C-alpha cells in the first residue's frame, strides 16, 4: 500500500491545500494529512479547530486521514510506515524554504522522499497568511477558502474586535 503524508500548519486550510489533498489522494492508496501541533508561529486556529475543519472538508475522500503531530516530521511519517512527504510548490519564492525542509528531512531519514506537486495557477498567490490578512479587513476571500473556513475566519476576527 502506497502511503503519502501531506504535512503543514493549515492555519487555516485553503483552496490551495485542498487541491493538493485531492490530487495526492489520487496518487496514493492512503493519504495522511499531518497537522503540526508544536507551531512556534502562534497559530490563530487551535489544533482541534484545524483538525475539525480539515476533517469536515475531506469527509468525502475515503482514503484521507487527518492526524496531528509534534516533534519531527520524519518520525511522524515513519509511524505510518510511509516514505513519501508531499509538499505544494507555488512559485520561486517557495524554493529556498522547501529545499531546506526537504534536505533536512532527507538528512534525518534517507528512506523518506519529498515530492512536490505544482500548485494550480489560480492558487499560486495563495497562503494561509494572505487569507487571514484579507479576512481581517473584511475583504472577499470566497475564491481562496471554502465557505466553512470563510465563516470561521470572519467570526474569529469579529470576536477579537469585541
Residue nearest to ligand PNS according to CB distances in the complex: 8
Residues whose CB falls within 8 Å of the CB of residue 125, separated by 6 or more in sequence, listed in order: 90
By CB under 6 A, tell whether 8 contacts ligand PNS: yes
Query: Per rule CB under 6 A, is residue 36 in the interface with ligand PNS?
Result: yes
- Cβ 158 to ligand PNS shortest distance, Å: 25
| 73 touching ligand PNS, by CB under 6 A | yes
- Select from 25-33, 44-52, 97-105, 115-123 the region that touches ligand PNS (CB under 6 A): 97-105
Residue 70 a catalytic site member: no
- Asked if 104 touches ligand PNS (CB under 6 A), the answer is yes
Residue 48 to residue 46: CA distance in whole angstroms: 5
- 53 binds ligand PNS per the rule CB under 6 A: no
User: Got the DSSP string for the chain?
Assistant: --EEEEEE--TT--HHHHHHHHHHHHHSSEEEEEEESS-TT--SS-HHHHHHHHHHHTTT-TTEEEEEE-S-HHHHHHHTT--EEEEEE-SGGGHHHHHHHHHHHHHH-TT-EEEEEEPPGGGTT--HHHHHHHHHTT---TTTS-HHHHHHHHHHHHHHH-
Residue 102 near ligand PNS by CB under 6 A: no
**Closer by beta carbon to ligand PNS, 8 or else 12:** 8
**Contact region with ligand PNS (CB under 6 A), list: 3-11, 54-62, 140-148, 153-161:** 3-11
**Residue 50: active-site member:** no
Q: Catalog residues that contact ligand PNS under the rule CB under 6 A.
A: 7-9, 36, 72-73, 101, 104-105
Catalytic residues: 17, 41, 90, 128
Amino acid at each position: 500500500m502506497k502511503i503519502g503524508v501531506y504535512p503543514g500548519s493549515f492555519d487555516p486550510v485553503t483552496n490551495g491545500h485542498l487541491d493538493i489533498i485531492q490530487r495526492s489522494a489520487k496518487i496514493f492508496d492512503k493519504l495522511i494529512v499531518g497537522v503540526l501541533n508544536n507551531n512556534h508561529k502562534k497559530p490563530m486556529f487551535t489544533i482541534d479547530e484545524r483538525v475539525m475543519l480539515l476533517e469536515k472538508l475531506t469527509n468525502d475522500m475515503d482514503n484521507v486521514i487527518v492526524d496531528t503531530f509534534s516533534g519531527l516530521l520524519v518520525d511522524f511519517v515513519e509511524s505510518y510506515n510511509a516514505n513519501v512527504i508531499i509538499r505544494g510548490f507555488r512559485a520561486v519564492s517557495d524554493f529556498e524554504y522547501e529545499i531546506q525542509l526537504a534536505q533536512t528531512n532527507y538528512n534525518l531519514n534517507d528512506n523518506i522522499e519529498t515530492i512536490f506537486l505544482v500548485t494550480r495557477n489560480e492558487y499560486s498567490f495563495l497562503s494561509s497568511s494572505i487569507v487571514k490578512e484579507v479576512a481581517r479587513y473584511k475583504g472577499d476571500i470566497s475564491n481562496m477558502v471554502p465557505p466553512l473556513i470563510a465563516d470561521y475566519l470572519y467570526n474569529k476576527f469579529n470576536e477579537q474586535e469585541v
